[in-house]
Amino acid sequence: MLSSKSLKNLQHSRPSVQGKIVVENLNVYFGKHHVLKNLSIAIPDRQVTAIIGPSGCGKTTFLRSLNRMIELVDGAKVTGKVFLDGLNIYSPKVDSSDIRRRVGMVFQKPNPLPMSIYDNVAFGPRIHGIRNKKVLDKLVEESLKAAGLWDEVKNRLKDPAVSLSGGQQQRLCIARALAVNPEVLLMDEPTASLDPISSAKIESLIRELKRKYTIIVVTHNLQQAMRIADYVVFLFMGELIEHGAADEIFTSPRNTKTIEYLRGAFS
């Protein structure tokens, strides 16, 4: 027989819905400002989920609360639960660096570290204790291949990362994120600072990567969301307005806010 208390604990430690990431009653405050309002949602495994919504609706905040990067913001407070494969990442026993290894992140502006291409990709494995040169070489090669950058850089791995073009830098950042073997990849407007050709490369890379990784992309570009997303989350003023399969949301949205947004009434 379970006591009522342990039963309650059990309920609290397990998400009620299935999904790679399950968010329950997530609230985020910056000081007194209530940024995310009671979000509950399940993110499907190995699919591309696009988070859309007008500027300032909390897309980036939501993304950053999925790997606890939000905690780096001074004065940020998070309540509610985010489950990664059933583990509440905000539980006090959980180490944030552990979560961030499992949930990788790619930023809006490519941010290669000021070191060589090789060292950028090897950076993650090295901080997680991998020192063996052969293992590192293999990881670097695999990650760069997975990010579709290997052929372009294999002969210049020792060159500084900043010598790459913007699009290449962003793919390098993806390779760097893949090198620590994550399960989920968060991408915050990954093509916002890139030209159309580089953006197209990143988009096809995203479609490629979803076979192995759960991908969550914040995008300001509806056409991009339509091209890459399997699942769509629409946020407005910090609230979750609508979410569902991409086909449904884009062809027959239910909420009037979603309809207006998709029609381009505001952005």
Partner 1 sequence: MSLKNRSTFFTDREGANPRSLRGKIDKLSSCFLAIASISSIFVVSTIAALLLYNFMKFCEQGFLPSILSDVWLPSKGEYGLLPFIAGTLWITAVAMTISLPLGFLTAIFMAEYIPRKMHSPIKSLIELLAGIPSVVYGMWGLMVLVPLVRDQLAPLIGGSLGKVFPLFRVNVNIGFSILAAGIVLSIMVLPIMISTSEEVMRAVPMEYREAALALGATRWQATKTVVLRLASPGIFAGIILSFCRAFGETMAVLMVAGNVITVPSSLFDPAYPLTALIANHLPEMISIPSYAYALLTAGFILFVVTFSFNVIARLVVRRLKRMGQ
Rounded Cα gap, residues 172 and 116, in angstroms: 11
Token pair for residue 49?
């989920």
Q: Which is nearer to partner 1, 38 or 108 (CB)?
A: 108
Rounded Cα gap, residues 166 and 190, in angstroms: 11
Q: Which is nearer to partner 1, 113 or 237 (CB)?
A: 113
Select from 28-36, 46-54, 174-182, 252-260 the region that touches partner 1 (CB under 8 A).
174-182
Q: Which is nearer to partner 1, 161 or 240 (CB)?
A: 161
Residue 67 interacts with partner 1 (CB under 8 A): yes or no:
yes
Residue 114 interacts with partner 1 (CB under 8 A): yes or no:
yes
Closest distance of CB 114 from partner 1, Å: 6
Q: Which is nearer to partner 1, 192 or 237 (CB)?
A: 192
Select from 42-50, 91-99, 240-248, 249-257 the region that touches partner 1 (CB under 8 A).
91-99
Using CB under 8 A as the binding criterion, the count of chain residues that bind partner 1 stands at: 28
Residue 176 interacts with partner 1 (CB under 8 A): yes or no:
yes
Q: Quick one: which of 104, 148, 167, 190 contacts partner 1 (CB under 8 A)?
A: 104
Q: Would strands 21-30 and 184-188 be described as parallel, antiparallel, or unpaired? A: unpaired
Taking the CA atoms of residue 142, residue 145, residue 151 and residue 155 in that order, the dihedral angle to the nearest 10 degrees is -30
Q: Quick one: which of 53, 58, 124, 238 contacts partner 1 (CB under 8 A)?
A: 124
Closest distance of CB 260 from partner 1, Å: 34
Closest distance of CB 112 from partner 1, Å: 8
Q: Which is nearer to partner 1, 54 or 166 (CB)?
A: 166
Closest distance of CB 162 from partner 1, Å: 7
Q: Which is nearer to partner 1, 57 or 177 (CB)?
A: 177
Q: Which is nearer to partner 1, 38 or 111 (CB)?
A: 111
- Phi, psi at 27, each rounded to 5°: -125, 135
Q: Quick one: which of 29, 30, 90, 123 contacts partner 1 (CB under 8 A)?
A: 123
**Contacts with partner 1, residue ranges (CB under 8 A):** 67, 69, 72, 74-75, 97-101, 104-105, 107, 109, 111-114, 123-124, 127-128, 160, 162, 173, 176-177, 180
